[in-house]
Structure 1
Amino acid sequence: MIEKRARPAYPRVRAIPTRWADNDIYGHVNNAAYYGFFDTAVNCFLIEEAGLDIQGGRVIGLVVETGCNYFAALAYPETVEAGVRVARIGNSSVTYQIGLFREGEDEPAAQGHFVHVYVDRDTRRPVSLPDKMRQALEAIHA
């Protein structure tokens, strides 16, 4: 059984409105949309706090692993609150944990993870995390 983490376990939380297109034929947010919420929450943190330059930076993050556990359905027009924390920081890789919550709730509707490997934009070879990024990641390391 997966250990559920309540909202206080996540040092950064971002509100993400669901879209009409997120719902599937069964009337709830489709499982694939959850990965979009994960990506949005983590990349907003990286851009806003860790200095990631998605347009012209030399370092980019490539997702090499993902996973999600679902506990309760979400549906449009709810606002999802995505909590982010870092579980592991390596030389060139980072494991993020993300909790998705209904607005104002402490119990997760879903929780997942993904792993970024940071590489040189041109060569796609792994590189060490930039200092500013490492400092921001350490600030939310669990």
Structure 2
Amino acid sequence: MMIQRFIHIHISRRFNPITMTTRHLSSSSSSSDDLWLSSSYKFFLPNPTRWMDNDQFGHVNNTVYYSYFDSVINRYLIHHCHIDYDVIRGFMVQTQCEYRRPLQYPDVPVVGMFVRKIGRSSVTYNVGLFPSSVLKGVSGEVMKIMSEGLFASQLTKGTEDVNALAVGSCVHVFVDTRTNKPTPLPDNLKTGLQKILSNVESRL
């Protein structure tokens, strides 16, 4: 049985120094099967790979996936939640990722995301990295404005599910920029996040 090894990085909510633990995952993923299906996701944004993302084995290094997830989450917060980073900012306190298929430059994967939980000052996201075929049927005009992403309702209905290359989860704790202490989510942030809230089961 193939065993996949990766490093899980966790930062406590008190923002103590990073602690690192090693988890072992079998080739039969511990995450819910639904997490690997494109129909489970509420928002999609292409994220082109870069030449520098490839490692000596000729594929995108596993650590780079986290930067893709982080970029798409923050782009959503900017364009669809209208977050004001002068007032509030999100600290990423937990991330996880499971991998099934590799990426290579110059692939243009599509990051899907949904919100699993909205707390008082925290948000839990699920993310999936999909091949570009997940956007099959999207018009050229729509593709031109993809810098802001697409909601699932804008995708062609009736298309087959696309399987993810990797799936992950991320937790933000939002803090007051003046004190760096957790602060309640403002209404505009909660409203934007609720648009992609989902009850898809996740063990990530």
* TM-score, with structure 2 as normaliser: 0.67
Identical counterparts, % of pairs: 39
Q: CA deviation at 1:53?
A: 2.7
Secondary structure of the structure 2 residue equivalent to 1:34: helix
Deviations 1:61-97 (A, max 9, x none): 0011010000110110000100010011000000010
Q: CA deviation at 1:121?
A: 0.6
1:22·1:76 contact (CA, 8 Å) conserved in 2?
A: yes
> Comparing both structures, which one devotes a greater share of its residues to strand?
1
Q: CA deviation at 1:109?
A: 0.4
Structure 1 residue runs of 4+, over 3 Å off?
none
Q: Which residue of 2 aligns with 1:60?
A: 89
| Residue 77 (str. 1) matches residue 106 (str. 2) | yes
Q: CA deviation at 1:3?
A: 1.6
1:89·1:95 contact (CA, 8 Å) conserved in 2?
A: yes
Unpaired runs of at least 5, structure 1: none
Q: Which residue of 1 aligns with 2:71?
A: 40
Secondary structure of the structure 2 residue equivalent to 1:24: coil
Unpaired runs of at least 5, structure 2: 1-29, 135-161, 199-204
| Residue 119 (str. 1) matches residue 175 (str. 2) | yes
Q: Which residue of 2 aligns with 1:31?
A: 62
Secondary structure of the structure 1 residue equivalent to 2:71: helix
- Provide the aligned C-alpha RMSD in A: 0.9
Structure with larger Rg: 2
Deviations 1:1-60 (A, max 9, x none): 212321121111000100000011111100111000000110010000001133xx2110
Q: CA deviation at 1:119?
A: 0.3
